[in-house]
Amino acid sequence: MLREDDRSGKWIDLNQNREIIQTLANLMSEPLYEKNQDGFFVLCNQAFLDFFGVREDAVLAADANDFFSNRMKQREPEIEMAMVQNRDVHEQEIDLQYHDGTFHRVQISRIFFHDVDGTPSSLMGVFKDLTKQEQQDKNYAKLLRVRDAILEINNASLYVEPLDQLLEIILEKMLDVVEPAEIGTFLFRDETGHMTIRASRGYNQAVVQNFQLLPENSFLWKYTNGHVTRTEIIELNPDDNTITPPLEKETSPFMIRSSISAPVFIEGELYGLINVDSDQAGVFKEEDREVMEFIRGQIEGVINRKRLYEQSQQLSYFDLLTQIHNRRAFEKALDKAMDGERTFYLIMFDLDGLKWINDTYGHQQGDRFLKCMADQMREIEREGDTIARFGGDEFIAICYRHERDDILQELVKLEEYSRDKGVEIQGEKVICSFSYGVVQYPQDGSTGKDLIREVDSRMYKYKRKYRRGR
């Protein structure tokens, strides 16, 4: 299709120009259309087709007024041709039906193109999906909350020592990012295989403390018929006795109607469940499930690292051979004891005959002797006491007693018990005897060094006076 240019006299290929315009229009992310002076579409871009879910051949040459009127929430007669026909951009907000059947609020910007004589030749419209933009803004804000939640959880894992306190933070962040959720729980599997609540929000604490259930009785297990692999939205029927809400809300009666349950796996095993709940049906959307599923993956790594750290910390405070506290744990316990207002006794033990056993029977039997002695020392341990291996064949204990005679009587009984029990080595009964010294805080020393120096001195005085062993 050719037309002679009025000014230059050259012939212009209008079809080629139209192709260029169409290409440029398709590059735009916002829906765009053009209609001629008779009200029929002559151009639309791909974003326009995607918005309405139609093909190009169903739009081009169609009546634009009919097309829009059929897709408007409230019909407006002559929505475009009634505009003031000038060269200014005209903006208007209307509700248009999106391709999924929902109505979106859009802002249409329209402008008329005029011929040289001023006659309107066509109208071009571009509209901005305000509903979509609002949703994108919400999604972006949610992504920021998710990002901040993950950062806070990771940071908390570095400075929060007890695992339960970290679980409380994780649950709180889950409730922050899943807005429809009102309350929630974090269940962990214990040594017996039961799920117990280690963190909760909004539930009756008296009920929470005594709550436990087997994994197969959980919402998620029943919902998936035991195929627990990912986070799920669970709608609960109050009349269905197979899934019964087991808890009570903190301040008022509460019936769980909707829940999102996220499994936590550690080393391939189901380790826990994070549940966020609502008393309204159908409040959780797929995007809420996806958010929890994403955070769940992050949490598994955080919890596993925290668990391994706690295990390593636990090991670092225990003697690997005797399984009682080591010197590091003792020093920490001594500092804590001296910060308190209670008096306590410090007892140092030195085993008799360990060198003889090592030389005669070997170090493996010497290790048995040490473990036997550690087991026997537990006989004097009470709540709050600390018994530790101080080094080599020396043990030390912090004991809280009212009177010095109380601890001395216990030590006499321990000596008798040790002599009677002994340890059998290659058919021979070896007596687990020891020397000891006792000091009292604060009477015998005001610092840890003073106490240890004094109790060590008294122990060796005892050993020289009552030298025993082989």
- Residue 53 maps to which CATH number? 3.30.450.20
What span, in angstroms and rounded, lies between the C-alpha atoms of 410 and 329? 23
Does 300 reside within a domain?
yes
- What are 9's strand-pairing partners? none
**What is the separation of C-alpha 67 from the centre of its chain, rounded to a whole number of angstroms?**
49
Q: What are phi and psi of 210, to 5 degrees?
A: -100, 5
Q: Give yes or no for residue 75 having a pLDDT over 80.
A: no
CATH number for the domain including 169? 3.30.450.40
Does 140 reside within a domain?
no
What span, in angstroms and rounded, lies between the C-alpha atoms of 470 and 256? 72
What span, in angstroms and rounded, lies between the C-alpha atoms of 333 and 252? 44
What span, in angstroms and rounded, lies between the C-alpha atoms of 133 and 145? 18
Q: Give yes or no for residue 124 having a pLDDT over 70.
A: yes
pLDDT tens-digit map of 197-236: 999 988 888 778 888 889 998 889 999 999 999 999 999 8
Structure tokens at 225: 């018929």
Q: Residue 439 in contact with residue 445, Cβ under 8 Å?
A: yes
Domain boundary among the residues 129, 152, 179 is at: 129
With 0.75 as the threshold, say if the pTM is over it.
no
Mean pLDDT, residues 332-361 taken together? 89
Question: In terms of residue numbers, what domain contains 50?
Answer: 2-129
What span, in angstroms and rounded, lies between the C-alpha atoms of 56 and 58? 5
What span, in angstroms and rounded, lies between the C-alpha atoms of 324 and 322? 5
pLDDT tens-digit map of 6-65: 555 444 444 456 677 778 888 888 999 998 888 899 889 999 999 999 999 989 888 988
Verify that 310 and 343 share a domain, yes or no: no
Verify that 297 and 277 share a domain, yes or no: yes
Verify that 177 and 311 share a domain, yes or no: yes
Q: How many CB atoms lie within 10 A of CB 72?
A: 15
pLDDT tens-digit map of 81-92: 455 445 567 888
Mapped onto helix, strand or coil, the DSSP state of residue 396 is strand
Helix (H) or strand (E) holding 37: none
pLDDT at 250: 63
Domain boundary among the residues 129, 146, 169 is at: 129
- Between 252 and 393, the more confident residue is 393
- What are 199's strand-pairing partners? 186
What span, in angstroms and rounded, lies between the C-alpha atoms of 158 and 309? 10
- Between 182 and 50, the more confident residue is 50
Domain boundary among the residues 263, 285, 315 is at: 315
Q: Residue 171 in contact with residue 199, Cβ under 8 Å?
A: yes
C-alpha separations of 351 from 355, 407, 419 in Å = 9, 19, 12
Verify that 308 and 371 share a domain, yes or no: no
CATH number for the domain including 364? 3.30.70.270
pLDDT tier, 449 (very low <50, low <70, confident <90, very high otherwise): very high
Q: What are phi and psi of 378, to 5 degrees?
A: -65, -15
Does 36 reside within a domain?
yes
Verify that 361 and 246 share a domain, yes or no: no
Verify that 265 and 342 share a domain, yes or no: no
Verify that 342 and 367 share a domain, yes or no: yes
What span, in angstroms and rounded, lies between the C-alpha atoms of 366 and 354? 6
Does 322 reside within a domain?
no
Radius of gyration over every alpha carbon of the chain, rounded to an integer in angstroms: 40
pLDDT tens-digit map of 353-398: 888 888 888 888 889 888 888 888 888 888 889 999 998 899 999 9
Helix (H) or strand (E) holding 195: strand 195-201
Average pLDDT, the chain: 83
Helix (H) or strand (E) holding 150: helix 130-159
Q: Residue 410 in contact with residue 427, Cβ under 8 Å?
A: no
Q: Give yes or no for residue 451 having a pLDDT over 90.
A: yes
Does 145 reside within a domain?
no
Q: How many CB atoms lie within 10 A of CB 78?
A: 10
Q: What percent of the chain shows pLDDT beyond 70?
A: 87
Verify that 253 and 356 share a domain, yes or no: no
Does 437 reside within a domain?
yes
Amino acid, res. 457: S
Verify that 110 and 182 share a domain, yes or no: no
Give the single-character DSSP code of 55: -
| Ordered DSSP codes for 380-420 | G--TT-EEEEEETTEEEEEE--S-HHHHHHHHHHHHHHHHH
Q: Residue 157 in contact with residue 305, Cβ under 8 Å?
A: yes
Verify that 307 and 420 share a domain, yes or no: no
CA atoms within a 13 Å half-sphere pointing along the CA-CB vector of 80:
28
Structure tokens at 420: 């009677």
Mean pLDDT, residues 94-122 taken together? 84
Q: Residue 76 in contact with residue 89, Cβ under 8 Å?
A: no
Cis peptide before 442 (omega within 30 of 0): yes
Tell the residue number behind the tokens 């030749």, with chain if given. 121
Structure tokens at 92: 């208007």
Task: Count how many domains the chain has.
Answer: 3
What span, in angstroms and rounded, lies between the C-alpha atoms of 423 and 447? 37
Verify that 268 and 209 share a domain, yes or no: yes
Q: Where are the alpha helices (DSSP H) in 27-119?
A: 46-52, 64-69
Does 148 reside within a domain?
no
Verify that 167 and 86 share a domain, yes or no: no
pLDDT at 106: 93
Q: Give yes or no for residue 137 having a pLDDT over 80.
A: yes
Does 154 reside within a domain?
no
